Amino acid sequence: MKYPEFRALEDRNGGSKADDLLTASITAFCCVARPAKSDAQQLEDLAVPLLPLTSPRVRRHAAAVLSELPHAPRRLVMALAEDDVDISAPILLRSPVLKTADLVDIIRRKGLGHARAIARRATTDPLMLDALHSFNDPALERTLAFQPPLEVETVAAPESEHLRETRQALRELMLSSDIGQSEDQVLADRLIDAALLDQTTTFHKEFAEALNLGPDNTSRIIGHGLNAELTIAFASLGLSAEATHLILTGLFGLVHKDLHSLRLFVQSYRQIDQEKARITVSRWKLQENSQALREKLREMAKDVENTARKVS
């Protein structure tokens, strides 16, 4: 049985896997109210190598989202700041991660385009102003003339209103009508805790026990992102859309970039017939048992063959 809605979500916008992975990881990081240093390090280790493989559209989105976060990973911010100016402009203009020395170095290495973007930051730092004035560029000078001086240097940018509204809307959408609908809330809580606490081994074990599947099948179904088999498995367990979304977020980061894609997921998930989902899982178990039986028969045949050779 196929579910086109989930396939559409899996292959959203026709983007590359690198695009999807970078977008999901950055969006998930931005939705953490107080990320730990380990969260920033994990994002940095994942995202920086991905940047050369991603499209300008996705890098532009990453720069815009990270530009307002004081806790954004420094190496990732620096890499985006040195990208083409049409991508790096939000970072150059707003990021509190970039200090004066960083900006001056970028101005000197990247040239006029980046300098014009940086000039829109209100600053009284003489080192920065000297670097900007050195271009003798009329457009840059006009920008500096209209920038009001800062009395104190901004240390940290507050959370954006748009980010707060989006996060609240996500919560309200997921909490609107699904709470308490899981047939086994204890199981749902265990799976959610294992996924959100990044306990991969624990989650695989809980998931395998709940479905009575072997480790190979479990790893294949969980895979590396949202897929039809995984959502069918959750539906067969009676998990609500809320619980399923939380588990997917814990496993793969925020898999839905906006409210529209989240609504599609919720609507599609609720349309899955639980009994049909259970039949599908039973088919997986049957295939797994058949494969195990074939392997056992092959082993027995080899043993018989080896015994015959020894006798002869």
Q: What is the pLDDT along the chain (312 residues), one digit of tens a residue?
A: 333 433 343 444 444 788 888 888 887 887 777 788 888 888 898 889 989 999 888 888 888 888 888 889 999 999 999 999 888 888 998 899 999 889 999 988 888 889 888 888 877 788 888 888 888 888 778 778 766 544 444 344 454 555 555 555 555 554 444 444 434 567 887 787 777 665 567 888 888 888 888 888 888 888 766 778 888 889 998 888 878 887 887 777 766 666 777 788 888 888 888 898 888 888 888 877 777 667 766 777 676 666 766 666
Q: The tokens of 270 are what? A: 């609720």
The pLDDT of residue 196 is 66
Kindly state the DSSP code that residue 258 receives in the 8-state scheme: S
Q: What is the DSSP letter of 159?
A: P
pLDDT of amino acid 81? 93
- pLDDT computed for residue 27 by the predictor: 79
How far, in Å, CA of 190 to CA of 194, rounded? 6
* Residues with Cβ within 8 Å of residue 182, at least 6 apart in sequence: 188, 238, 239, 240, 243
For residues 298 and 24, what is the distance between their CA atoms, to the nearest angstrom? Answer: 44
Closest CA to 42 of 58, 63, 21: 21
pLDDT attached to residue 21: 84
Length of the chain as a residue count: 312
Stated pTM of the model: 0.45
pLDDT at 155: 42
